[in-house]
Structure 1
């Protein structure tokens, strides 16, 4: 079968390779790939920035934003042939730490977790793949064209869960949320904010195109002014930061309403320095009871929450987020970001 593979930490080694068909073991599904989402993590792995092959191997099968159809399921597993499924990305560490032992493997404390298509486990970028039934999530068949959005939706489902848990340390009645960044994570964070009945605002650098249109279609408000100007105007109770841009991060932290919560989901690049008034930032956080949290990855309940959020969303709106569908054989086109891209998807037809 064909698979998209790479030599981790060696730039520009991605290729479509012929690899053996997988054998599903006890308690595993054999799945035919339908689609695979491409994100910044995949591009960074291809660039050689990071990534780890399975032990004893040189190449890693890429891909963590999966969507497939069950070809064969074990009896009594709760899945049937033809089911539309997504595979969970992370697996708990084998020790395990206290978090992993309780199913909170997205919060692993010792770093020994593994991840499909990223760290020491082959990903879902192959024509056939297997997944343990405990780490597969069934999707509504009506979501086939957009189900590949499941993994990024699970990430923002976790982010919103963490925001709400922090908010409930005291009285919690948010009204306005600002999402910085209108990529897939940002737009899906906005979707979940709208589903919570909040007044949603999204900020990005572009002035027109598919991103502002998607925000408007969601019933949210789009901004492309500087962050301080926007936060002064709307006084957000919650900020979901999805750019990883240092200046945006600190401006967002400084711009919340009192008792504000900033959830960082964007990963910043190292080596970039900006001047920061650390004393003023500390003073504001302390005197306003503000909170800044980081959130990454997702566990099983977040995937279930993501499936519910996608099922409740407008399908036409979700379709807006998929900019391009590229056949596996032309993977290089998918890895090359274009200005109007939101989510690029590899197909396996």
Structure 2
């Protein structure tokens, strides 16, 4: 079979490799890979920033935004050949820590978790892959072309869950949400906000192309002005921050509503300093009962929440999120940004 592989932490090592077909172990599904979403994490691994191969392997099979069709299932499994499935990315650490022991492996306390396509486990970027049936998530048959959006949807499903849990510390009745960043994470966060009946606003730098259209098609409002100006005018009850841009993070923290919640999902690059009046920021957060929290990854509960959200979404809107599809044989093209890219997908069957 063909697989998309890299030598972790070695730039320029991306290639399509020929590997033996996998053999499913006890309790595992054999899955025909259909498509693979490409995200910033994948690009950083390809660029040599990080990534770790499985023990004893030089190369890592890339890919964590999966979609496949079950080819073979164990006897008595809840899955049948032909089912659409997505594979969970993270596995709990073997110790395990308290969080992992309770199924909350997205909150691992000791960092010994592993991740498909990222850390010490081969990913889903191959024509065939296997997955433990307990870490396979069924998706609606209508998501045959967009089911690879489930993994990024789990990220925002967790973010919304965390926001709502924090809000429940007292009376909580949010009306307005600001999402900063109109990439896939931001747009999916906006989708889940609309599904909650909120007044959703999305901020991004671009004024043309698919992003404004996608936001407006949700019934949300699109903004391109400076983050501080937009947040000050809106005073959002909830902010889902998906850019990782330090100045944007600070602007929304300073200008949300009282008893507001800012959830950070974007990862900021190190090495850039910004002047911050830490005392004034601390004063605002304390006196207004504000909360700022970070959220990353997802556990099985969030995968099922995400699958439910995608099943309720407009299929045409989801399809329009995927702005470019690249066959596996030309997968390197998916790692070069296009002007109007939102979500780029590598197709694993058919084509070159």
TM-score normalised by length of structure 1: 0.99
Please say if 1:82 is aligned against 2:82: yes
Q: Secondary structure at the match of 1:187?
A: helix
Structure 2 unmatched runs, 5+: none
**Is 1:65 aligned to residue 79 of structure 2?**
no
Runs of 5+ in structure 1 lacking a partner?
none
Q: Which residue of 1 aligns with 2:254?
A: 254
Task: State the distance in 2 between where 1:32 and 1:57 align.
Answer: 23
- Equivalent positions of 1:320-335 (< 5 A) are 320-335=320-335
The answer for the alignment partner of 1:152 in structure 2 is 152
Alignment-derived partner of residue 7 in structure 1: 7
3-state secondary structure, aligned to 1:68: strand
The answer to whether the 8 Å contact 2:8/2:48 transfers is: yes
Matches within 5 A, 1:186-205: 186-205=186-205
Alignment-derived partner of residue 25 in structure 2: 25
Deviation, 1:324, is 0.2
Count of aligned pairs: 349
| Other structure's SS at 2:54 match | coil
Q: Could you tell me how far apart the structure 2 residues matched to 1:187 and 1:57 are?
A: 36
CA distance in 1, matches of 2:207, 2:182: 11
Counterpart position of 1:127: 127
Q: Tell me the equivalent position of 2:233.
A: 233
Structure 1 ranges of 4+ moved more than 2 A = none
| Structure 2 residue matching 1:262: 3-state secondary structure | strand
Note the 1:109-128 alignment, pairs <5 A. Answer: 109-128=109-128
Do 2:228 and 2:248's aligned partners in 1 also have CA atoms closer than 8 Å? no
Q: CA deviation at 1:36?
A: 0.3
CA RMSD of aligned residues (A): 0.5
| TM-score using structure 2 length | 0.99
Q: 1:209: Cα distance to partner?
A: 1.1
Instruction: Report the CA distance between 1:274 and its aligned residue.
Output: 1.1
Cα drift, residue 40 of structure 1: 0.3
**Does residue 300 of structure 1 match 2:300?**
yes
1:263 lines up with 2:263 in the alignment: yes
SS of aligned partner of 1:263: strand
Residues 1:224 and 2:224 aligned together: yes
CA displacement, residues 261-294 of structure 1 (integer Å, 9 cap, x when unaligned)? 0000001111111111111110110000000000
Native 8 Å contact 2:263 2:294 kept in 1? yes
2-structure distance, mates of 1:54, 1:268:
27
Could you say which residue in structure 2 is the equivalent of 1:319?
A: 319
State the 1:57 CA deviation. 1.2
Q: CA deviation at 1:259?
A: 0.3
The alignment partner of 2:243 has SS state of coil
- Equivalent pair of 2:71/2:81 in contact (CA under 8 Å): yes
Larger deviation: 227-236 or 44-53?
227-236
**C-alpha displacement of 1:221:** 0.2
Partner of 1:340: 340
1:141-180 matches, cutoff 5 A: 141-180=141-180
Alignment partners' CA distance in 1, 2:272 and 2:22? 43
Offset of 1:233 from its aligned partner?
A: 1.2
Shift of 1:339: 2.0
Q: Aligned equivalents of 2:277 and 2:18: distance in 1?
A: 54
